[in-house]
Amino acid sequence: MNIVVNCPICNSTVEWKSENHYRPFCSERCKKIDLGTWAAENYVISESQETPAEADTGDDSD
């Protein structure tokens, strides 16, 4: 069974197999575009809405 995914950059179909050294990208070009986007800090990983001090510890002994 061949798994097929879409390249996150150009949306072309890509077979998910070990012979594809660029997966999930379709080519080295798309892989480098993605790396450049990360390097330019255009992608953001959102933080949790609560800080650890604000998080509920489950301790209801008020």
Higher local confidence (pLDDT), 10 or 42: 10
- Which domain covers residue 18, as residue numbers? 4-39
pLDDT at 60: 59
* Domain-located, residue 20: yes
- How many residues are given for the chain? 62
Query: What confidence tens digit (pLDDT) does each residue in 12-51 have?
Result: 999 999 999 999 999 999 999 999 999 998 888 887 766 6
* Domain-located, residue 13: yes
| Two tokens, residue 9 | 């950059």
CA distance 30 to 36: 10
**Residue 30 DSSP one-character state:** H
pLDDT at 1: 74
pLDDT at 55: 58
* Domain-located, residue 56: no
Residue 6 phi, psi dihedral angles, 5° rounding: -100, 140
Domain count, the chain: 1
CA distance 6 to 25: 8
The bridge status of strand 4-6 relative to strand 13-15 is: antiparallel
* Domain-located, residue 21: yes
* Domain-located, residue 47: no
